[in-house]
Structure 1
Amino acid sequence: METVARRRGGGVLESLYKAVMRRNSVYVTFIIAGAFLGERAVDYGVHKLWETNNVGKRYEDIPVLGQRQSE
């Protein structure tokens, strides 16, 4: 007996296959774009985590650095 998903033309994985993995050029483009976007997301997250953990300890947070004292 066939499942309902089979009669309707497949499920999520089959739709993903039809959209992305059928042609090699589309698949490679999908992988490269995913790697690029994933790298950007990880970089942004680590940067925000670093800034959150180091508030008040960074050079930019110290107001007297880089200023000359008035006479």
Structure 2
Amino acid sequence: MNQSVIMALSLLNFFIAGETDLTFSEVAERAKLPKPTVFRLLSSLEYMDFLSKSKQSDYDVRIGLFIRVPVTT
């Protein structure tokens, strides 16, 4: 199993479980992971459009809508 994928999906679960807005510090505290690790994982989730930052604060994170439409030929 890939531990990075497991950790990233665990962070995503915080948002899916009902908390739609969490600060960077709240995520790090709940995950009990080092802040640099949390930053890297959240950045990856944001890059892939699973999460997006709000405009009010650099570290507020909101669950994003992620839909992939299959391409048919």
TM-score range normalised by the length of the shorter chain? under 0.3
Greater percentage in helix: 1
Greater percentage in strand: 2
- When normalised by structure 2's length, the TM-score is 0.26
- When normalised by structure 1's length, the TM-score is 0.27
Larger Rg: 1 or 2?
A: 1
Higher relative contact order, structure no. (Cα contacts within 8 Å, ≥ 6 residues apart): 2
